[in-house]
Chain A
Amino acid sequence: MELSSLLTRRRVGMAAAASTAGRLLRLGAVRAEGHCRRLRRAGLERGFLQPTSAGKDAAQKRHVAHFTFQPDRESQEHGQTQKMNLFQAVTSALDNSLAKDPTAVIFGEDVAFGGVFRCTVGLRDKYGKDRVFNTPLCEQGIVGFGIGIAVTGATAIAEIQFADYIFPAFDQIVNEAAKYRYRSGDLFNCGSLTIRSPWGCVGHGGLYHSQCPEAFFAHCPGIKVVIPRSPFQAKGLLLSCIEDKNPCIFFEPKILYRAAVEQVPVEPYTIPLSQAEVIQEGSDITLVAWGTQVHVIREVALMAREKLGVSCEIIDLRTIIPWDVDTVCKSVIKTGRLLISHEAPLTGGFASEISSTVQLHDELPSFFLETF
């Protein structure tokens, strides 16, 4: 139907290889039907490209994909803030961690000179070469080594240069890190391990500098997977991951490293894991996304309001596993509709986990379900 096709046609900002996946669920039909009939009658046109508020000709053609980073309102609760982009927010979090925890070390390929995305600039000079150091070019070694450090109780912060290259370490992550505590009966654990990795499309990345592998890890109990949408979120979530007593993977949307700029507190602060955030309230439909796609979805919500009169509730999932089922379900109970959008491929993507869990939820009516 029209509503869904319009929303899925909004493939803003994504390279062809990493197209948007949208799933529209319509639950509890009656109220929705009337609304949708109204929209169909509105006779919507093609070439419907931008929010009216952008103030341009509605029929213009696009030449490049884009998205616009939308900063949140500045937080007042964590003391003095400083303008930071996302990689600087990461540096700040790492700086705070190494200052506070004398056992903490950072390692990976090229982290010593500052990192290929400048996330570790200045840290080696400040904390010493035994704490910020390069490893040989070997992801399975990086993660295995990190697990070993964590087993002794020290804090290990490993960097995998691109999420596309995390796969050699998959065995160490899934078979070892995730299972360390369980299989040893809690005699041993590697909870003080955090793996950070640049993630997601950047425009020119192609197959091997653009991947979003969160769905592979979502299937693995024992680890946490976290993805921030902004510099402020990145620092707080990364600090939570580092402090968390379970091995965590922190994916950093690389397209946001420079493009996302916000006021970020200088002092350490944490944002809770496994808590999704309702970043915009609405009544007609729940939109769920994470990382870069949150900003695309925000734009979509704006357009939906202006062109279709649809009120969208937007949720940033933030933690992929363990994910915040209650917040998402509570929202869908209210709105009656759910759309999940992610960069990663559709089949087996994390949207399928969310959509099936929501559909199984006992407080949601199952008498009318449709999936697009």
Chain B
Amino acid sequence: MDRQGQIINPSEDPHLPQEKVLKFYRSMTLLNTMDRILYESQRQGRISFYMTNYGEEGTHVGSAAALDSTDLVFGQYREAGVLMYRDYPLELFMAQCYGNMSDPGKGRQMPVHYGCKERHFVTISSPLATQIPQAVGAAYAAKRANANRIVICYFGEGAASEGDAHAGFNFAATLECPIIFFCRNNGYAISTPTYEQYRGDGIAARGPGYGIMSIRVDGNDVFAVYNATKEARRRAVAENQPFLIEAMTYRIGHHSTSDDSSAYRSVDEVNYWDKQDHPISRLRHYLVSHGWWDEDQEKTWRKQSRKMVMEAFAQAERKLKPNPNLLFSDVYQEMPAQLRKQQESLAQHLQTYGEHYPLDHFDK
């Protein structure tokens, strides 16, 4: 697809049915709407922190759509669109960001550290690239289990500099694991541009050094991402070997709510990508030119998606935070004596000094 949503090479058109392509569009735009509202909510002090996905929606949705629903996903932190595509409810995105008592993660982590067992999305952790060798191990186990399952592992071009990335690539190749390494090369690792991150030919060029078949794709072309992932998946299962996809895209938003990217890049640069090469715009052009979408539907959908997000948001805000006892459980599968003592000690402390704590906000 070019920037006007026209298929460049008809032989590469995946010919996806209308419903599926509409699902791509709705997932990407719903994510975008949720991002705007949650980013704002952080600015207003309602949640502590947030990371947007602006500009990278195509990488999430194109790849997620090419997988089986049971394929295991290991992400970094900017892959919420994968969960969105897998129909993770807005209520639960919000619950995790608010850290309220409905959060399946029990309110223990910073916002955007989602996880979902039913949707095979392994809980996000903050340290970068640690998921890469883990994803390889999971793929090895999937291979042994003959489960017709692959693992996909997302990471940014910055995380690819970590030792864990090198470890993961090498293990995947030598141990013949059915895994897709999906690198979102979005131009920046916080403030560090790619010129300061690596001097070689990006991440795709590293793959062959490990014996891994690699491809570079236009990450803002959701069909290109879909095609590459689909083919990688097919071969990973058939041949038990890893594949590396480097999706070139652009991080339109700041790194996070703790970042103001005008400190290290120009507004013009950001506007260029936002206006000239945005995955959502390109897909919309495609939809419109096929007669599958129009202005009215766009207006209606914008209103509807915003309403859905606002409702989930209001609900999440009203809920209590998790019970403080959850500070101590799940450290081990069973609670050891020392932790039980600490838990009791906290309970006693709260008995005496509870007035100094916002206990009313917490589930009893």
CB-based contact B137/A156 at 8 Å? yes
Is B354's beta carbon under 8 Å from chain A?
no
Please indicate the chain B residues that have their CB under 8 angstroms from the CB of A176 in the complex: 125, 127, 130, 134
Interchain nearest-CB distance for B131 vs A (Å): 8
Chain A residues, Cβ within 8 Å of B141: 103, 148-149, 152-154
Is B30 positioned at the interface, with any CB of A under 8 Å from its CB?
Answer: no
Give the complex CA separation of A182 and B125 in angstroms: 11
Q: Which A residues between 165 and 204 are near B, CB-CB below 8 angstroms?
A: 168, 171-172, 175-176, 179-189, 191
Task: Say yes or no: is A136 at the interface (Cβ < 8 Å to chain B).
Answer: yes
Find chain A residues with CB under 8 A from B163 CB.
Answer: 140, 168
Q: Which of A147, A183, A222 gathers the greatest number of chain B CB atoms within 10 Å?
A: A183
Per the bound structure, the CA–CA distance linking A304 and B274 in Å amounts to 80
CA of A172 to CA of B108, assembled, Å: 19
3 closest A-B pairs by beta carbon, nearest first, are A148-B137, A144-B133, A141-B167
Q: Would you call B338 and A187 a contact (CB within 8 A)?
A: no
Chain A residues, CB < 8 A from B132: 144
Interface membership of A359, Cβ < 8 A: no
Tell me the bound Cα distance from A148 to B106 in angstroms.
22
Which A residues lie within 8 Å of B142 (CB)? 152
User: In the complex, given contacts A135-B174, A148-B133, what are 4 additional A-B residue pairs having Cβ atoms less than 8 angstroms apart?
Assistant: A141-B168, A147-B134, A153-B141, A186-B330
Judged by a CB distance under 8 angstroms, whether A245 is at the interface is yes
A154 touches B145 (CB 8 A): yes
B22: Cβ under 8 A from any A Cβ: no
Q: Which residues of B contact A221 (CB under 8 A)?
A: 331-332, 339
- Answer whether A182 and B330 are a contact pair too, CB < 8 Å, given A144-B134, A175-B130: yes
What's the A-B contact tally at a CB cutoff of 8 Å? Answer: 156
Q: Which of B140, B166, B337 has the most CB of A within 10 A?
A: B140
Alpha-carbon separation in the docked complex, A68 to B308 (Å): 73
Q: Say whether A326 faces chain B, with CB atoms less than 8 Å apart.
A: yes
B187 within 8 A of A: no
Query: Residues of B contacting A180 with CB < 8 Å?
Result: 123
A322-333 vs B: 1/0 string, CB under 8 Å? Answer: 100110000000
B224 at the interface (CB under 8 A from A): no
- Residues of chain B at the chain A interface (Cβ within 8 Å): 72, 74, 103-109, 113, 115-117, 122-123, 125, 127, 130, 132-142, 144-145, 163-164, 166-168, 170-171, 174-175, 329-334, 336-339
Chain B residue at smallest Cβ distance from A136: B170
Is A145 an interface position by the 8 A CB rule?
A: yes
Chosen A-B contacts, 8 in total, with CB atoms closer than 8 Å, are A148-B74, A148-B140, A148-B141, A168-B163, A185-B105, A187-B117, A224-B332, A246-B332
Q: Is the CB of A145 within 8 A of B115?
A: no
Q: Is the CB of B133 within 8 A of A140?
A: yes
Number of interface residues of A (CB under 8 A): 48
B336 touches A322 (CB 8 A): yes
Q: Are A185 and B104 in touch, CB under 8 angstroms?
A: yes
CA distance A7 to B212 in the complex (A): 60
Question: B145 near A183 (CB under 8 angstroms)?
Answer: no
Asked whether, in the complex, the Cβ of B171 is within 8 Å of the Cβ of A138, the reply is yes
Q: How far is the CB of A273 from chain B (nearest CB, A)?
A: 10
A123 CB within 8 Å of chain B: no
Partner of B104, one of A141, A187, A222: A187
> Contact between A145 and B125 (Cβ–Cβ < 8 Å)?
no
Q: Are A325 and B133 in contact (CB under 8 A)?
A: no
- B145 with A185: CB separation less than 8 A: no
Task: Determine if B123 and A152 form an interchain contact, defined as CB atoms under 8 angstroms apart.
Answer: no
Q: Give A250 to B132 CA distance when docked, in angstroms.
A: 25
CA distance A325 to B135 in the complex (A): 38
Q: Please indicate the chain A residues that have their CB under 8 angstroms from the CB of B137 in the complex.
A: 144-152, 156
Q: Which residues of B contact A246 (CB under 8 A)?
A: 332-333
A113 within 8 A of B: no
CB distance from A165 to the nearest CB of B (A): 14
A133 to B175 Cα, complex, angstroms: 9
* Cβ B333 vs Cβ A130 within 8 A: no
A176, A245, A326, most chain B CB atoms within 10 A:
A176
Q: Select which of A144, A151, A179, A184 is within 8 A of B167 by beta carbon.
A: A144
From known contacts A141-B170, A188-B117, infer whether A181 and B138 are also in contact, taking CB-CB under 8 Å.
Answer: no
Distance from B206 Cβ to chain A, minimum over Cβ atoms (Å) = 15
- Chain A residue at minimal CB-CB distance from B130: A176
Are B170 and A138 closer than 8 Å at their CB atoms?
yes
Residue of A130, A133, A152 with highest tally of chain B CB at under 10 A: A152
Shortest C-beta distance, B340 to chain A (Å), equals: 10
Enumerate chain A residues within 8 angstroms of B167, measured Cβ to Cβ.
136, 138, 140-141, 144-145
Residues of A within 8 A of B74 (CB): 148
Please, how many angstroms separate the alpha-carbon atoms of A326 and B336 in the complex? 12
Q: Which residues of B lie under 8 Å from residue A149 when comparing CB positions?
A: 137-138, 140-141
Instruction: Check: A274 CB closer than 8 A to any chain B CB.
Output: yes
**0/1 per residue, A302-339, Cβ < 8 Å to B?**
00000000000000000000100110000000000000
